[in-house]
Amino acid sequence: GSAGALSPPAAASKWVRLNVGGTYFVSTRQTLCREPKSFLCRLCCQEGPELGSDKDETGAYLIDRDPTYFGPILNYLRHGKLIINKELAEEGVLEEAEFYNIASLVRLVKERIRDNENRTSQGPVKHVYRVLQCQEEELTQMVSTMSDGWKFEQLISIGSSYNYGNEDQAEFLCVVSRELNNSTNGIVKEPSEKAKV
């Protein structure tokens, strides 16, 4: 825009200090006002008497929120991309996006969470297969004690391996599989599919 009479007199007023839960962030009004409806835009662009009081002694706006999750929020306003460090939970970022009322970001984080739940969106899921051999009477016990994450795939009867006396003891090959998730965020929301017998 043209530098008309409306441009702020001091360059300093272009920069905004935020004190989010005790951590300082510095940004520009332009960045904070990317989302006109957001809390941050209201805070620093429509500074009415009712919002003016919430500043600390350094003149930074005080915001009583978790600073850990503020980074992705601010970066999103800066460049429009959602970047979340591995250690951060998407749910935490979603919570903040909702608090700061940044609708487009809320949508993005929700999509990201949904994608993580349907991990398939990240290319083919690798499976590890295991073949376990067992006898008929061990079968139910083996299936019921299968550890979390292992999924029952297939049962192959290989007939009886003993021909003396207990013909009825059939042998089975039991095939189980498990997803290999490289991207475990510490919280793997795999539904534990215990095979029901």
Residue 103's domain is classified under what CATH number?
Answer: 3.30.710.10
What share of the chain has pLDDT > 90, as a percent?
35
* 133 and 70 part of one domain: no
CA distance 90 to 84: 7
Please tell me what DSSP assigns to residue 194. Answer: P
Look at the chain and report how many structural domains it folds into: 2
Q: Are residues 26 and 102 in the same domain?
A: yes
Q: From 86, 24, 30, 81, select the one nearest 55 (Cα to Cα).
A: 24
116 and 138 together in one domain:
no
pLDDT of residue 111: 92
What is the C-alpha separation between 13 and 115, in angstroms, rounded?
A: 40
Question: Do 154 and 88 sit in the same domain of this protein?
Answer: no
Question: Quick one: average pLDDT of 3-9?
Answer: 49
> pTM of the predicted model, to two decimals?
0.53
Dihedral sign (CA 43, 28, 21, 70): positive
Q: Are residues 54 and 137 in the same domain?
A: no
Kindly state whether residues 61 and 113 are assigned to the same domain: yes
Whether 73 has a pLDDT exceeding 50, the answer reads: yes
Give the CA count within 13 Å in the CB-facing half-sphere of 37. 8
Question: Does 194 map to a domain?
Answer: no
Q: Which structural domain, as residue segments, surrounds residue 133?
A: 126-160+170-180
Alpha-carbon gap, residue 193 to 7, rounded angstroms = 62
* Mean pLDDT in residue range 4-18: 64
Q: Are residue 153 and residue 104 in the same domain, yes or no?
A: no
132 lies in the same domain as 54: no
**pLDDT at position 7:** 47
What confidence category does residue 193 fall into, taking pLDDT thresholds of 50, 70 and 90? low
Q: What is the mean pLDDT of residues 128-152?
A: 79
Percent of the chain with pLDDT over 70: 73
| Domain contains 10 | no
Report the pLDDT value the prediction gives residue 176, as an integer from 0 to 100.
86
Structure tokens at 1: 């825009």
Position 46 confidence tier, pLDDT thresholds 50, 70, 90: low
Which whole number is the average pLDDT over 65-74? 95
One domain for residues 115 and 130: no
CA distance linking residue 15 with residue 29, whole number of Å? 6
